[in-house]
Amino acid sequence: MSVTEPIGFNASGVAAGLKSSGAKDVALVVNIGPKAHSAAVFTTNRFAAAPVIWSRQILSGGDGRVVVLNSGGANACTGPEGFLDTHLTAEFVASELSKVGEGEFGAGEVFVCSTGLIGERLNMRVLEGGVKSAITELSPKGGIMAAEAIMTTDTKYKVSAVNDHGYTIGGMAKGAGMLAPGMATMLSVITTDADVDPDFLQQALSAATSQTFDRLDSDGCMSTNDTVILLANSASGVAPDPEQFQADLIKVCEELAQLLMADAEGATKEIHIEVVGARDESDAVMVGRAVSRSNLFKCAMFGEDPNWGRILSAVGTTTAFFEADQVDVSINGVKICAAGGVGEDRSQVDLTQRHIDVLIDLHAGTHRALIRTNDLSIGYVVENSEYST
């Protein structure tokens, strides 16, 4: 599992001291070749953090083969000084890696990801100490350590891998709050030893994230730091069928997204909102997302109350194509709302399990989409109202 499952990747995760808890907080992922292609997707938040601005430049340069990640500080809204910190981090990683015989590296090959509190500068001395240790620890078995080092309020590390067609795709992710699109608040690094055309790599990653991470909407809050990076090295020598590679990549992203939803802050329910009968996919996404963002709906799920009026009132705020007197809603298989009105008896709905399926049929076409969300629980409020320092 994780980013070292494919051939030709080393990783590590160490405790540098950025986190006051003493937990791991600096991770490295290094592509040792033979090739070095990369793709990435970033937050669309206009207050993009310094590492996001930096990593976009690395992506456009096309040579990215290293990812350095830290938890314990987002380096967001930190101004030009924060950007300089990111730049110096990449320079430091490249220069230290070059010293230890892993080859010659330049800062332009180093993606940077940060996560933690917004609006605080990173302690660069501590971070650089962590980078040195992380380089020492680099290993083809370091994937889990790296996954641990990027956790914030996550209670579990998140990794995934697919290895069914002669090549491997492995990945790690973090994220438990600010989980909403574009992408959910998350960092993810995915690696593969498949021999994939670099243009297709970006296309495949964008398609995979739009169907998976982008449709996770836990709390409606978009982060400043969301980043998904895909590194490819062709080490397996296998040039996959593009459709197969796309499907495998989606599988890895899907599993990571599912793990993120399962570990969302304070969540007691994992809710799949499936919208069918939509005129087009964007209508289906719009409707699913409106429901996933209704605090009243999410409180009802926490309270195990099949209050379908809260679903309809959210659907009714959208501009999706439908007629109000044709919409059906089922919760866990019971069609409690039929044709926009009262359906089966709500007492038939059993919401005691952690998993909840909501099915909304707009009766306006043949398209569908699945949005994943969580309930709004007392635990979420408690966790997010504690003082940030």
Smaller CB distance to a second copy: residue 104 or 325? 325
Instruction: Report how far residue 144's alpha carbon sits from residue 13's, in angstroms, rounded to the nearest whole number.
Output: 8
Q: Locate tokens 């289906």: which residue?
A: 284
Q: What is the smallest separation between the CB atom of 222 and a second copy, expressed in angstroms?
A: 5
Q: What is the smallest separation between the CB atom of 154 and a second copy, expressed in angstroms?
A: 16
Smaller CB distance to a second copy: residue 158 or 298? 298
- Torsion angle of C-alpha atoms 280, 261, 257, 206, degrees rounded to 10: 50
* Catalytic member of 185, 212, 227, 373: 185
| DSSP line for 195-260 | ---HHHHHHHHHHHHHHTGGGB-SSS---S--EEEEEE--TT-----HHHHHHHHHHHHHHHHHHH
Q: What is the smallest separation between the CB atom of 318 and a second copy, expressed in angstroms?
A: 8
Q: What is the smallest separation between the CB atom of 338 and a second copy, expressed in angstroms?
A: 9
Query: Which residues, 6 or more positions from 42, have their beta carbon under 8 angstroms from its beta carbon?
Result: 48, 52, 55, 56, 226, 227, 228
Smaller CB distance to a second copy: residue 118 or 205? 118
Q: What is the smallest separation between the CB atom of 221 and a second copy, expressed in angstroms?
A: 5
Rg (CA), the chain: 22
Query: Which residues, 6 or more positions from 231, have their beta carbon under 8 angstroms from its beta carbon?
Result: 9, 29, 31, 36, 37, 38, 64, 65, 67, 189, 190, 191, 192
Interacting residue ranges for a second copy, rule: CB under 8 A: 44-48, 74, 76-79, 81-82, 117-121, 177-178, 219-224, 293-296, 299-300, 302-305, 307-310, 312-318, 322, 324-325, 337, 339-342, 376-378, 380-382, 384-388
Smaller CB distance to a second copy: residue 183 or 250? 183
Smaller CB distance to a second copy: residue 124 or 382? 382
Q: What is the smallest separation between the CB atom of 159 and a second copy, expressed in angstroms?
A: 26
Separation in Å, CA 146 to CA 50, 221, 275: 21, 26, 36
Instruction: Report how far residue 380's alpha carbon sits from residue 267's, in angstroms, rounded to the nearest whole number.
Output: 7
Does 185 participate in catalysis according to the annotation? yes
Smaller CB distance to a second copy: residue 120 or 128? 120
Question: What would the two tokens of residue 268 be?
Answer: 């007691």
Q: Strands 355-361, 270-278: parallel, antiparallel or unpaired by DSSP?
A: parallel
Beta bridge partners of 189: 172, 229
Q: What is the smallest separation between the CB atom of 33 and a second copy, expressed in angstroms?
A: 37
Separation in Å, CA 15 to CA 9, 324, 383: 21, 55, 24
Beta bridge partners of 339: none
Question: What would the two tokens of residue 311 be?
Answer: 């679903």
With beta carbons less than 8 A apart as the criterion, state whether 17 and 126 touch.
yes
Separation in Å, CA 171 to CA 147, 187, 226, 318, 335: 9, 11, 15, 35, 38
Smaller CB distance to a second copy: residue 119 or 198? 119
Peptide bond into 237 cis (omega under 30): no
Q: Which residues are catalytic?
A: 185
